[in-house]
Amino acid sequence: VAGSAAGRLEGKLREKTLTLDTLNPQVKAVEYAVRGPIVIKAGEIERYLEEGGTKPFSEVIKANIGDAHAMGQKPITFLRQVVALCTFPELMDSPSFPEDAKRRARRILQGCGGHSLGSYSASPGVECIRKDIAAYIEQRDEGVPSDWENIYLTTGASDGIMTILRLLVSGKDSSRTGVMIPIPQYPLYSAAISEMDAVQVNYYLDEDNCWALDINELHRSYQAAKQHCQPRVICIINPGNPTGQVQSKKCIEEVLHFAYEENLFVMSDECFSDNIYVLATECGNLVQLDMSMSFHRCGFRGGYMEVINMDPEVKAQLVKLLSVRLCPPLAGQAAMDVIVNPPQPEEHTFKQFHQEKSSVLGALAEKAKLTEKILNAVPGIKCNPVQGAMYAFPRIFIPPKAVEEAKALGMQPDMLYCLRLLEETGICVVPGSGFGQKDGTYHFRMTILPSIEKLKVLLGKVRDFHIGFLKEYSGLE
């Protein structure tokens, strides 16, 4: 610091040690559309409105991200009670908290150093919470054994995904690790692959078949990738993000057979496994589990992964890698314990918990149907059923004239569309190009989390905007 000050006094300003030229090139390659330029622009408009500026709308509706509580969804009472008790144990004496919550909080705190949520835990997580997760998985999978020592708590599912990819990525040139990901995909994957200098291997979901996974497409993708990299891992997102589909049992079985035949590591991202609205769909569970969005308390950054069939020596390296980041936040671990160990029918708190959870999921199912119905009634928009998760990913027709205008501006056509939508209606959605899509097709991702009333307003504005957009660029009504 003193040296820098001296340099200024002498009138000799040094170049920064870290510049774009010296920055890690893998960092520069990272893109994350969910919080990209559209969202930055939305923030600018929001501040402009707060400062008294005027627009054709009174508020910005951020439909770009799955942040349930920010959208006004009521938190689950029991979860908040347990976390509050763990954070401030003096509340154990309060009659305002049910004994069911106190009992869970005591058990969690007994597993923490000094009986405090402010302590570190073991790097894989608090032991009793890991055991609860294993018991939950075993019950969910109808008796298939789950070993608690295969369970690792994470700072949200993203942490688990990044950690596993770090284990898998290696090699140079044609031996670089290829990571097979679905297209459309959640951009965490493409960002992580860029950051780690791995090779992104795309396999395309079948939009005409409700975004189903096609085994022939997996074979095509794998064989093409082998020409320039070594595919070593396949990622499955189920329920889909951004696409909202739930893969059938047959699809899942085919993927596992394919992975076995090609000796691929399987990463199954099941963040939205509680959010399934189409009961007729046969669902299944894959080999490796990441989970963080259940009950929509994403701000706690709780998550876990179950790692199965890993070489014991590699497992030791995984534990070493986890130990570098010490441990996940204990508040997130406590919240995760409530997810997997909720009130049981014989407990006093069960009725309220069940009502609140059913209300949340019931409302989401209603909003999923509403979104599909309204969007499919708009000329030039096609929306597959939202079977799970909390997003719709409608396909939009963009006239050739608008495509040419976007190219002249140096942007993707759906970026132009979404920017116009934001500037004219205040609705913030994410262009489909940020998730990947087949050439010549255009989409956007929107969350279905707003209240029914606000969602109707949002969808009505999208309808009116799209009709006007078509009329402006092609004269279509």
Instruction: Give which of 425, 354, 438 is closest to 184, Cα–Cα.
Output: 438
Q: For domain 27-72+353-474, give the CATH number.
A: 3.90.1150.10
Q: In whole angstroms, what separates CA 139 from the centre of its chain?
A: 25
Which pLDDT score is estimated for 284? 32
Give residue for tokens 């009502």.
Answer: 355
Instruction: Give which of 291, 320, 321 is closest to 306, Cα–Cα.
Output: 291
Same fold for the domain at 27-72+353-474 and the one at 120-340? no
Average pLDDT, 10 consecutive residues per value, the chain (477 residues): 52 72 74 70 89 86 76 82 92 92 93 83 88 91 90 86 88 90 87 88 92 92 93 89 82 91 90 62 38 54 86 89 86 90 92 88 88 94 86 92 93 93 93 90 90 91 94 73
Q: Is 30 exposed, middle or buried (0-12, 13-18, 19+ CB in 10 A)?
A: middle
Which pLDDT score is estimated for 131? 95
CATH class of 120-340: alpha beta
Which pLDDT score is estimated for 286? 35
Give the integer Cα–Cα distance in Å for 77 and 358: 13
Which pLDDT score is estimated for 287? 35
Cis peptide preceding 184, ω within 30 of 0: yes
Take residue 69 and report the two structure tokens written for it: 């509580």
Rounded to the nearest 10 degrees, what angle do helices 127-140 and 330-340 cross at? 30
Give the integer Cα–Cα distance in Å for 288 and 217: 22
Q: What's phi and psi for 32, nearest 5 deg?
A: -140, 90
Give the integer Cα–Cα distance in Å for 339 and 333: 10
Q: In whole angstroms, what separates CA 6 from the centre of its chain?
A: 48
Q: What's phi and psi for 416, nearest 5 deg?
A: -60, -45
Domain residue extents for the chain: 27-72+353-474, 120-340
